[in-house]
Copies of this chain bind each other. A is one copy, B any other.
């Protein structure tokens, strides 16, 4: 079982925050940080509830950390002599054994995949020092406090959030096995789940106590087994890569909402309040595609979250004088945008810096449409459209039409004043990624409306009644045909990232880093070092080429990869995997391998940016986690799935002797096996039996 375990063999005070991320547990409903039972807010202990947000006056709105029911400590245990901690990613358990001066503590815990409200802990201590266990209400907050206690005793805490008055009930039941050992069952319900969360939590605890630790663990383990059956990838000949990829999938699954289509996966998953617990384009571009191909029900939930937040997207469009749906750059529960106009603090003046993420990164609406169409194309689940996605698509097309300008003397539509994925260059014109994605949106709207009219004329009519798209459809068609898509230069094959990019200073990454005056200074924004140079934060043109590879010949893709990659800072965890996918595709799998490993190990090594300006951005990286799978499966295995079926064009790294994985296409499971020169696709077989 070693290959499924992350082991820690000593206690490191410096790495408490990182180990909190590394030893995460979760189930989409909540995330429990991998701190120790005796830890509190100083050690960044956290039980983050997905979709429960609160805003303290004048501060950023962020998810709520529930009172911590795991809190347990041996009084007078003394200093740590030795410490072992194990995360089992196969079944989602964390166990620890710690030798203190005056006691030995052992514990095991899991956050149930079978019942998302449930946390189970087994705890024991040697010796005769008193053991305290309770519910710690003094929680870690970045921008708190977020709640007031309505009721509090040793086994129950009920709190109410300050902004929206959401009730959060944390109930526990303890089964003492002997004086030194207990099982603690926790159930958490909120008033977003049901009308009487207190009773629900209490009853859940009673049931848990009756079932017992072993039975609950078994049910939980069985669900993890199902998950791995769907998503596992086996890599032959490279244990490091094997573990890193599985670990990435583990982290991604912790945050996947299986219980609800009203929440999604935040940019730092459920590892904390970083990035305001908000949902970014990361989800649609780097996570949803993984689920669409492995576990479409999760992908459907992620898409439906966008439908349920369409109201917020409509409001945001209006706020900026547009029509249609302009999705939140940082989405919270109602589609309200948590992103501010001042999202970074200048390290030199300590002043808030105007950034153009919220109002100019319009590609977010297109990214959502892209995920929707791919979901439909690969699952054939047309009901997604009648359940809401058609309306999303229509409103996004409408937004882009209202955003675009027509250039009369060039007879083309252009998209001006946008920020592309490369956030170091804000407010640019005709960003290649954005323009291409917007064209995709318009094309998709036209296709979806055609399909709907043909297949479900009543739904077509009802959508028309709700949205009045007919009056605009011809305009969208005109724009789809005449929107300028930055084209490859006939000589070099290069696509200019945006108008004027070619004229920027062509300095090397090393040069730009040599100019840094403060280690946390932001490269973008008003005066950022990268803004006047060709240095980009992350894949932009190359990401576009990856998504629309069939539009371009491989030489063009290669030329752009070779040009843009050395100019990329990879200042986002999304960057490396985009380059890796393309590198594999253009026949450079060993080049891709380093990027793949960088992506797949980001939450293991903790080697990611921890600060932007003065802002802490640590936590887990679900987009990189998804990106690791995408790099392996779409990159190395060369999987391409469309309406016509499954295509494979493997380009394995030289140290890999084989790989295998399962996917789902249009309701059927398939297993792909790549061994040496042979590539085999077999229907139905499960690849990860317990």
The residues of B that contact A348 with a CB separation of less than 8 Å are 348-349
Q: Decide if the interface of chain A is mainly helix, strand, loop or mixed.
A: loop
Closest B residue by C-beta to A410? B402
* Contact present for A351 and B416 (CB under 8 Å): no
The residues of B that contact A341 with a CB separation of less than 8 Å are 532
A486 at the interface (CB under 8 A from B): no
* Contact present for A349 and B406 (CB under 8 Å): no
Interface string of A464-500 (1 = CB under 8 A from B): 0000000000010000000000000000000000010
Q: How many copies of this kind of chain does the complex include?
A: 2
A176 at the interface (CB under 8 A from B): no
A190 at the interface (CB under 8 A from B): no
Kindly name the residue among A342, A404, A409 whose own CB sees the greatest number of chain B CB atoms within 10 A.
A409
| CB within 8 Å of B: which A512-530 residues | 515, 517, 525-529
Task: From B351, B402, B405, B417, give the contact of A527 (CB < 8 A).
Answer: B351
Q: Count residues of A near B (Cβ-Cβ below 8 Å).
A: 34
In the bound complex, how far is the Cα of B354 from the Cα of A531, in angstroms? 9
Min distance, Cβ A482 to any Cβ of chain B, angstroms: 11
* Contact present for B405 and A346 (CB under 8 Å): no
* Contact present for B405 and A416 (CB under 8 Å): yes
The residues of B that contact A427 with a CB separation of less than 8 Å are 417, 427
Kindly name the residue among A353, A408, A515 whose own CB sees the greatest number of chain B CB atoms within 10 A.
A408
* Contact present for B406 and A407 (CB under 8 Å): yes
A673 at the interface (CB under 8 A from B): no
In the bound complex, how far is the Cα of B616 from the Cα of A211, in angstroms? 80
Task: From B408, B416, B526, give the contact of A525 (CB < 8 A).
Answer: B526
A401 at the interface (CB under 8 A from B): yes
A423 at the interface (CB under 8 A from B): no
Closest B residue by C-beta to A352? B532
A330 at the interface (CB under 8 A from B): no
The residues of B that contact A527 with a CB separation of less than 8 Å are 346, 349, 351, 353-354, 525-527
The residues of B that contact A323 with a CB separation of less than 8 Å are 409
* Contact present for A408 and B406 (CB under 8 Å): yes
A414 at the interface (CB under 8 A from B): yes
Interface string of A327-342 (1 = CB under 8 A from B): 0000000000000011
Interface string of A192-213 (1 = CB under 8 A from B): 0000000000000000000000
Task: From B409, B429, B515, give the contact of A401 (CB < 8 A).
Answer: B409
Closest B residue by C-beta to A526? B526
Contacts A323-B409, A405-B407, A427-B427 given; 5 further ones with Cβ under 8 A?
A: A349-B517, A404-B408, A405-B405, A416-B417, A525-B527
Query: What are 14 A-B contacts defined by CB distance under 8 Å?
Result: A321-B499, A348-B349, A351-B515, A353-B527, A354-B527, A404-B408, A405-B414, A406-B408, A408-B475, A416-B416, A416-B417, A417-B427, A417-B429, A526-B531
